[in-house]
Amino acid sequence: MAAEGACKIPIGLAAALLDTGVSPADVLATARLPSRLLDIPGRYMPPADYFALWRAIRSVSGDAGIGLRLATAVKPELTEPLFLAILSAADVAGALAVVSRFKRLLEPQDLIIRADHTGQVVVSYEWTQAEDAPPQVLVDAELAFLVEVSRRGTRCPDLSPRELSLRTPVLEEGAGHAAFFRCPIRLAAGQNAVVFTADDTRRPFLTHNPQLLNALIPHLQANTPSNSASVLARVRSVIAERVRGQRPTAPAVARELAMSTRAMQRVLNDHGTTFRRLLDEVRNEHARGYLASTSFSDGEVSFLLGFDDPNSFYRAFRSWNGMSPSEFRKHSSAGA
């Protein structure tokens, strides 16, 4: 379980550093952090140490654009909860919402998404639990990541924001922001943000392949029903496809099945169940699979199952199984 207000080191950061010619050992030594910090994927650390890590990355690399380069070098590890949810998104807007929700629930950061007076979508990046402002290299990496996953997901390498806003009054020479973002840049702005057109946020994600994602975790594949002639099985299947990083709603599932919400609910009632009951069953199956076969924290499992906060997940899991998530992990390990 991550400590409240802690930052998760991106899985794949050490490999990305090596790919860009930066020594992880030199970075950790410069930041005065433990030499084996990056050996365990997904470690959490206080914001002050996390900022020190990124300042050291900038110092050791000697590259003003290292944040942008790392955003393109980090591979989307499918064992990373955030990437599992991003790759399940239907479009750019869905992917941005996933990242926003992940940061709100599990990290001391906020990704605020709003429409401006022209209808464009403004995505601003804020730190809520840090005494100091984040280093520019980290701001660069975070905003570039949003653009990079949008380009990869849509397979549209030319997708670019309408504008990049940065609080910094000046950019280092050779940082490469203009070449990467390919849009006007506003410095000394009141926020760190990227602005997308509404049309761009509706671009579909071609990585939207729930069947592939289910196959990544055998337990989930075994417990996710396949489509069949049964409406009940089809409802369960659609719920399973949509439950990563969001809470599926009855109207959304009904639309996927080309049914009205009322008609779907009537069929479920005829089978002696309800949408809420099916949702709980699928969530519980996936929760048990994640807890038994991954090292995801309870908070990350909560995020993947669409809960509003880890406490809600904890209460629900106990009501479903008569034990806490940590107790279930122990039983699963003992039985392995």
For residues 145 and 302, give the distance between their C-alpha atoms in angstroms, rounded to a whole number: 23
**Backbone angles phi and psi of 224, in degrees to 5:** -100, 115
Residue 41: pLDDT above 60?
A: yes
Per-residue pLDDT at 70 exceeds 70: yes
- Residue 219 in this model has a pLDDT that exceeds 60: no
The confidence score (pLDDT) of residue 334 equals: 65
Residue range 93-122: mean pLDDT, rounded: 90
Over 60: is that where the pLDDT of 212 sits? no
Q: With contact defined as beta carbons under 8 Å apart, do 34 and 106 qualify?
A: no
In the predicted model, what is the mean pLDDT of the chain? Answer: 86
* pLDDT for position 331: 84
Residues 6 or more apart from 83 whose CB is under 8 A from it? 76, 77
In the chain, the amino acid numbered 186 is R
pLDDT tier, 60 (very low <50, low <70, confident <90, very high otherwise): very high
Residue of 229 and 318 predicted with greater confidence: 318
132 pLDDT higher than 90: no
Report residue 324: phi and psi, to 5°.
Answer: -80, 165
Residues 264-311: tens digit of each pLDDT: 898 898 888 999 999 999 999 999 988 988 888 899 999 989 898 899
For residue 141, which of 43, 66, 77, 59 has the smallest C-alpha distance?
66
Interior/surface letters 9-29, b for 16+ CB within 10 angstroms, e for the rest:
bbbbbbbbbeeeebebeebbe
Residue 219: its H or E element? helix 218-223
> What domains are defined for the chain?
7-201 (3.90.1520), 210-335 (1.10.10.60)
Mean pLDDT, residues 114-141: 90
Instruction: Give the per-residue pLDDT at 218.
Output: 44
Label residue 225 by pLDDT band (50, 70, 90). very low
Question: Pick the residue with more confidence: 108 or 207?
Answer: 108
Is the pLDDT at 250 greater than 60? The verdict is yes
CA distance 9 to 82: 12
State residue 259's pLDDT score.
Answer: 82
Using CB atoms within 10 Å of the CB of residue 239, give its burial: 0 to 12 exposed, 13 to 18 middle, 19+ buried.
buried
Q: Whose CA is closest to 103, among 226, 2, 236? A: 2
Per-residue pLDDT at 123 exceeds 90:
yes
**Where is pLDDT greater, at 24 or 104?**
24
Start-to-end C-alpha separation, the chain: 22
Name the band, by pLDDT with cuts 50, 70 and 90, for residue 255. Answer: confident
Rounded to an integer, what distance in angstroms lies between the CA atom of residue 83 and that of residue 89? Answer: 10
| 3-36 per-position pLDDT tens digit | 557 888 888 899 999 999 999 999 999 999 999 8
Three-state DSSP class for residue 281: helix
| Residue 175: both structure tokens together | 């940082």
pLDDT at 236: 87
In this structure, of 10-19, 78-87, 270-279, 317-326, the range with the lowest mean pLDDT score is 78-87
Q: Is the pLDDT of residue 226 over 50?
A: no
pLDDT of residue 208: 62
Question: To the nearest 10°, the Cα dihedral for 19, 21, 23, 27?
Answer: -100
Tell me the backbone φ, ψ of residue 157, rounded to 5 degrees: -65, -15
Long-range contacts of the stretch 164-169 (C-beta < 8 A, 24+)? 164/193, 164/194, 164/195, 165/124, 165/189, 165/190, 165/191, 165/192, 165/193, 165/194, 165/195, 166/136, 166/139, 166/192, 167/133, 167/139, 167/191, 167/192, 168/136, 168/139
pLDDT, tens digit, for every residue of 141-191?
999 999 999 999 999 999 999 999 999 999 999 999 999 999 999 999 999
Choice between 80 and 137, residue whose per-residue pLDDT is larger = 137
- Taking residues 73-102, what's their average pLDDT? 82
| Residue for token pair 């390498």 | 157
CA distance 19 to 71: 12
Instruction: Answer yes or no: are the C-beta atoms of 67 and 148 closer than 8 Å.
Output: no
Tell me the mean pLDDT in the region 222-226. Answer: 44
